[in-house]
């Protein structure tokens, strides 16, 4: 069977679509069914759904892998999607075979009003964009804050943040508003893939 060769931009769009669909459908369902408890279960569920959505065939044929608790080149991420070179076995360490970072997902899941941990992740992503040697990497802020907001359309990134976030960042948000009992589950995409 002939395998399809994808361009770098096609791969980025496939990953982006998968992440957004998983957030909107599977992770929303997991949350509503009480299957997520704090950040680690969110991270595990994200990894699980992403592996299923992208399929082993797509990942293997394109030398793409998904890692949690990823650390490399000053990046310490909750989840990373990376591209390996054609022969990872030639290296002493798997990390040495990583030739590109395609996507980073930073996750926070808190049940209080303390915005500090969320803002720290935003600052972390901002620094990655400024200093990273992976210019095509896409960044996702997957934030669940079990707090009640007054307005339905909420965003963590301000208009000032959009200057550095445009073309690179997507917010995946879960929170509550006063007028409805169900969580609000939103995607604010600034990465031009919509």
Segment 15-47, tens digit of pLDDT: 999 999 999 999 999 999 999 989 999 999 999
pLDDT of residue 3: 63
pTM of the model: 0.91
pLDDT tens string 103-138: 999 999 987 777 888 999 999 999 999 988 888 899
pLDDT of residue 88: 64
pLDDT tens string 155-180: 899 899 999 999 999 999 998 887 77
Q: Is the dihedral of CA 96, 20, 174, 120 positive or negative?
A: positive
Asked if 103 contacts 140 with a C-beta cutoff of 8 angstroms, the reply is yes
pLDDT at 189 > cutoff 80: yes
C-alpha distances in angstroms, 6 versus 11, 13, 62, 136? 6, 10, 8, 15
pLDDT of residue 92: 67
**CATH 3.40.1350, applies to 8-189:** yes
pLDDT band at 68 (very low <50, low <70, confident <90, very high): very high
Q: Could you tell me which residues are beta bridge partners of residue 143?
A: 108, 173
Query: In whole angstroms, what is the distance from residue 21 CA to residue 18 CA?
Result: 5
Both tokens assigned to 193: 């893939």
Burial 65-77 (b: 16+ CB within 10 A, else e): bbbeebeeeebeb
pLDDT at 142 > cutoff 60: yes
């Amino acid at each position: 069977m002939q395998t399809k060769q994808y361009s770098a931009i096609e791969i980025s769009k496939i990953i982006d679509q998968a992440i957004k669909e998983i957030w909107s459908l599977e992770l929303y369902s997991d949350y509503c069914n009480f299957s997520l408890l704090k950040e680690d279960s969110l991270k595990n569920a994200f990894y699980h759904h992403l592996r299923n959505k992208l399929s082993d065939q797509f990942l293997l044929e394109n030398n793409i892998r998904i890692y949690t608790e990823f650390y490399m080149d000053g990046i310490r991420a909750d989840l990373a999607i990376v591209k390996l070179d054609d022969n990872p076995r030639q290296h002493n360490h798997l990390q040495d075979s990583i030739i590109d970072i395609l996507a980073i997902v930073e996750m926070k899941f808190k049940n209080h009003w303390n915005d500090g941990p969320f803002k720290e992740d935003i600052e972390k992503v901002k620094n990655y964009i400024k200093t990273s040697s992976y210019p095509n990497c896409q960044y996702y802020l997957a934030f669940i804050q079990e707090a009640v907001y007054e307005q339905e359309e909420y965003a963590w990134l301000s208009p000032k943040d959009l200057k550095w976030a445009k073309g690179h960042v997507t917010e995946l948000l879960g929170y509550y508003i006063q007028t409805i009992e169900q969580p609000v589950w939103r995607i604010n995409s600034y990465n031009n893939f919509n």
